[in-house]
Amino acid sequence: MKQTTALLLFLLGVVFLAADVPAQEVSLTQTRINSSPNPIGSGARAQGMGGAFIAIADDATAASWNPGGLMQLERPELSFVFNFSHNRKEVNNPGTPSMEGMNSISRDDLNYLSFDLPFRAFNKNMVVSLNYQRLYDLYDDLSFDINKGFFNRVSGGFTSTDTHTDFKQSGALKAFSPAYAIQLTPQLSLGATCNFWTDNLGYDNGWESHRVDKTTSAVFSPSIPNKVFRGEKTVYTHEENTNFEAFNMNLGFLWRINSVVTLGGVYKTPYTASVVRRTWQDSSTVNFGSAGTGSSNFIKSTKTRERIEMHFPSSYGLGIAFRLTDAFTTSFDVYHTEWSDYWIRSNGSKTNPVTGGLMSKSHTRDTTQVRAGCEYLFVLEKTIIPLRWGVFYDPEPAAKHPDDFYGFSLGTGISLGPVVLDCAYIYRWGRSVKGSQIGEQGTKLDIKQHNIYVSMIYHF
């Protein structure tokens, strides 16, 4: 009896220690981002039109959409954009019902800040602009359970395990972006935005995550009746990525074909970011035993530091706008992101952040967005009140094929002398997407994202 008991305790400990592998790394695109992971711009007016803004780009946020549109600014402008978001994720797994549940997170942050100055030099109209943008918001909160049972045909025993996982992530990627535009002809203007991704300007540029996996196991053997052996293992994983440094550019043009039709285009160059320090700390505590037999404990802890490189792909878009009347404008955008060229290099190996596998053995398809929006102006005696709406298809990269995300938006605003106030509501959703975020086969997430943008533009 004592030998059998000792053997069961030993096997229980071996099972725990053999399963003591680092918790699954959650990458940038696998982590839920409050907005789309596709590189788009900011601003309540643009978002209210569904993000179909490449061929309009006529306010202070133009540097993020199409810097060629900056030439439409006639006076110096100062702008602020605030974002309020609420994201909900519903976990679904028919094969593991214990995983199913609802997770949510809410955030509010300064999303954009800019100052724009039009001027004339060398007989050309020009604009310079200083911008700050919080492009990728990496806050996340996810909890789920996995219950499993195993039957041992040899001993006739049964083992059950219950793992509860809590994952939290915080941080953001931000850029300081000076921009310049020049009017080549009355109909054609060009512009460029230089994006400096850095935390040397008084704000953090990175992210960190905390993950706790707590597993409880119970073992029953018919050779020891009326006794259940229990064990607990807790794995703590902390990852910290700091000093995200990179540089890329947005290059754009705006061509006013005639009084009705305007064509715009933008190209955002690829860039390779260095993360000066990635710290990965993985520790686990194991204890097991049963009443009357005492207990045993194992503690294991590892900590590693490394420098990584993260390569973000190029993207480009084309937009067309129709000013059908002085009060009514409609626009359409098509935007492409080359996610097949997205990778992380660590310890000499290049991996795909979406699939988690080596780049040589995995492939992620590119994504193409389609956006459409409208704006109608109610011109009153002392002010102008706009009504905006838009729809969009905004897929995200995934392991096998892009995940489908759709959305719509509504917006309005008011002009009060030199001040323009705008607001927009965006609802974005994806059904049965991003199961690879959790890693359990058959898992899918239903995601609903609510975003409110509030902008203020002051004309000097």
435, part of any domain: no
Tell me what pLDDT residue 20 has: 45
| Residue 367 neighbours by CB distance under 10 Å | 26
Kindly state whether residue 36 falls inside one of the protein's structural domains. yes
Quote the domain boundaries for residue 321: 2-85+104-365
Question: Cβ–Cβ contacts within 10 Å for residue 419, how many?
Answer: 11
Give the chain's domain count. Answer: 1
b/e string for 315-350 if b means 16 or more Cβ within 10 A? bbbbbbbebeeeeebbbbbebbbbbbebbbbeeeee
In a domain, 108, yes or no: yes
What's the confidence (pLDDT) of residue 392?
97
Q: How distant, in Å, are the alpha carbons of 48, 284, 390 from that of 411?
A: 4, 50, 9
Asked whether the beta carbons of 75 and 103 are under 8 A apart, the reply is: no
Q: Is the dihedral of CA 42, 43, 49, 50 positive or negative?
A: positive
Question: 432 lies in a domain?
Answer: no
For 407, counting Cβ atoms within 10 Å of its Cβ (0-12 exposed, 13-18 middle, 19+ buried), the class is buried
Stretches where the chain sits below pLDDT 70 are 1-36, 95-98, 150-157, 221, 223-226, 276-300, 435-442
Please name the residues in contact with 83: beta carbons below 8 A apart, sequence gap of 6 or more.
Answer: 34, 35, 42, 107, 108, 109, 110, 111, 134, 137, 451, 452, 453, 454
> Is 448 within a domain?
no
Residue 314 lies in a domain: yes
Beta strands 328-337; 367-379: pairing state = antiparallel
Q: Please report whether residue 170 resides in a domain.
A: yes
Q: What is the pLDDT of residue 305?
A: 77
Q: Is residue 325 part of a domain?
A: yes
Q: What is the CA radius of gyration of the chain?
A: 27
State residue 84's pLDDT score: 94
Q: Phi then psi for 274, rounded to 5 degrees?
A: -100, 135
Q: Could you give phi then psi for residue 400, rounded to 5 degrees?
A: -105, -50
Cβ-Cβ contacts under 8 Å for 48 (sequence gap 6 or more): 373, 375, 388, 389, 390, 409, 410, 411, 412, 422, 423, 424, 425, 453
